[in-house]
Structure 1
Amino acid sequence: MTEVDSLEISNFKRKLEVEFDIKELGKMKNFLGMEFATSKDGIFVNQSNYVLDLLKETGLTGCKAADTPIEPNVKLKTAATNEVMDKAHYQRLVGRLIYLVHTRLVIAFAVSVVSQFMHSPEPTHFEAVFRILRYLKRTPGKAILFKKGEHLMIEAYTDADWAVDVNDRRFTSSYCTFVDENLVT
């Protein structure tokens, strides 16, 4: 960091102190269930404690780990009304998995699939959620690295799959955004 950068940061902090009651807490280590570590390469972000707590909460700490977050070519369907299971429990689990996607991008597709059934989950939907959790058991401490960049370059990509949803024949789309070669969305 240059002397100019340090001066700008100090000026910014003083302006914040005028408007808000703030404290300097030093380098960030934990924030909202995420753990941060800095190195010469960049910033590592993980949610290992979050994963371990989730596995403990669901009773899966001693389970056999899965190789993939979702069965290949799985086609989940909307539940018949008599098969609907504990909706609130399902929504809580899927919500926690959605938060975990911030540092575990590899589960993003699987989580998007199971999140489509939050209004009426059936046993196969719960099985899919538990498979994601069993996959997470394999690498609870996995982190994502945000590399230091030389330049500010933003790239975005998108894709769509028409009529793939077996329930309503709607399309599914996705996107990703990179800043300095770091996947951010």
Structure 2
Amino acid sequence: MEIPSGYGRDVAANTVCKLKKALYGLKQSPRAWFGRFTKVMIGLGYKQRQGDHTLFFKHSKSGGVTMLLVYVDDIILTGDDKEEQQLLSQCLGKEFEIKILGKLKYFLGIEVAHSKKGIFISQQKYITDLLKKTSKTACKPASTPLEPNLKLGNVKDVAVDKEMYQGLVRRLKYLSHTKPDIAYAVCLISQFMHSPKETHLQAAHRILQYLKGTPGRRILFKRNGNVKLEAYTDADYAGSIVDRRSTIGYCTFLGGNLVTWRSKKQGVVARSSAEAEFKAMAQGICELLWLKIILEDLRIK
């Protein structure tokens, strides 16, 4: 708290201000917090990634690297310089009130499991909670996220609760962070959030049925020395029956491990299948360049 400028000139040193009302949830508070945290990290010799402002890294003289990723007030600290990690934890403990939880196991609803093969990530608990909340715990599992050759449009059907539908789609969007197999299906149902109908809700429930049958599927990041970077892209030409726009999809691999993926509807109508494919390739190349910039900061060629 600070006294308003110009008010404290004629006030005695031992005078205090009485707070009548406190405001919570100010939009600038997260920005102020992150600015304070960034200032501390830069003061400790860390650099902020321009491609991802939440990622800080530091190279030690011995050749090691320490990385810190922050999301609001949740932090992941990793690297191969154990001494620097301990020093950073001590310095952050002096500046902020922090709690060290040990080896990474759970972060923002994402479960992390370590093994000799590598690192597994999943959202099994998140899926279980979502099925309970939507009363789909006892539903019949489906083999695919969508029915084959399904085309969704603005059909004349019974309208459903808009807030309920939007909440379900938002949860499925967050779930697609570790479930690339539902990315296209979620992209499809999210196009009707402004006016959802019973047909769209049935498609969303189909995704839940698919998740019921695949709750334990996880993504594996294998331990290997390969740092080959590659991407695959695809596009369906005029796949939308509403506005004839195409949907692009891409996925990128680093050392044979799937690291990023996306399914997105194109902004304009493509005049040919070749144009739709080229736009998908452009998106994939942009993703590769972004990953390349991050790897260069980490001194990985």
Normalising TM by the smaller chain, what interval?
Answer: 0.7 to 0.9
The equivalences for 1:1-185 within 5 A come to 5-14=81-90, 16-17=92-93, 20-80=96-156, 83-185=158-260
Cα distance in 2, alignment partners of residues 166 and 8 from structure 1: 55
Cα distance in 2, alignment partners of residues 154 and 16 from structure 1: 34
Shift of 1:46: 1.3
Stretch of structure 1 that moved more, 5-14 or 43-52? 5-14
Question: Deviating runs (4+, > 6 A) in structure 1?
Answer: none
What residue ranges of structure 2 are gaps of 5+ in the alignment?
A: 1-61, 65-80, 261-301
Counterpart contact for 1:37–1:45, Cα < 8 Å: yes
Instruction: With the length of structure 2 as denominator, give the TM-score of the two structures.
Output: 0.56
Shift of 1:21: 4.1
Shift of 1:64: 0.9
- Give the alignment's Cα RMSD to 1 decimal: 2.2
Cα distance in 2, alignment partners of residues 159 and 31 from structure 1: 31
Stretch of structure 1 that moved more, 149-158 or 100-109? 149-158
- The one-letter amino acid of 1:34's match is I
Cα distance in 2, alignment partners of residues 65 and 148 from structure 1: 33
Other structure's SS at 1:60 match: coil
Cα distance in 1, alignment partners of residues 213 and 114 from structure 2: 24
Cα distance in 2, alignment partners of residues 15 and 180 from structure 1: 34
Shift of 1:14: 4.9
Which whole-Å deviations, capped at 9, do the CAs of 1:2-21 have from their partners, x for residues lacking one? Answer: 99533343454455456544
Other structure's SS at 1:96 match: helix
Identity of aligned residues (%): 54
- The one-letter amino acid of 1:51's match is I
Report the number of matched residues. Answer: 183
**Compared CA separation, residues 38 and 3, structure 1 to 2 (3 A):** farther
Other structure's SS at 1:26 match: coil
Cα distance in 2, alignment partners of residues 171 and 137 from structure 1: 30
Which whole-Å deviations, capped at 9, do the CAs of 1:34-85 have from their partners, x for residues lacking one? Answer: 11110122111111111111111111111111111100100010244x7432
**Compared CA separation, residues 149 and 21, structure 1 to 2 (3 A):** farther
- The one-letter amino acid of 2:189's match is V
Stretch of structure 1 that moved more, 158-167 or 111-120? 158-167
- The one-letter amino acid of 1:110's match is A
Q: Relative CO higher for 1 or 2, CA cutoff 8 Å, sep ≥ 6?
A: 1
The higher radius of gyration belongs to 2
Cα distance in 2, alignment partners of residues 141 and 60 from structure 1: 16
**Compared CA separation, residues 159 and 3, structure 1 to 2 (3 A):** closer
Cα distance in 2, alignment partners of residues 142 and 78 from structure 1: 33
Stretch of structure 1 that moved more, 160-169 or 144-153? 144-153
**Compared CA separation, residues 130 and 41, structure 1 to 2 (3 A):** same
- The one-letter amino acid of 1:97's match is L
Cα distance in 2, alignment partners of residues 93 and 72 from structure 1: 22
What residue ranges of structure 1 are gaps of 5+ in the alignment?
A: none
Instruction: With the length of structure 1 as denominator, give the TM-score of the two structures.
Output: 0.87
- The one-letter amino acid of 2:257's match is N
Shift of 1:104: 1.4
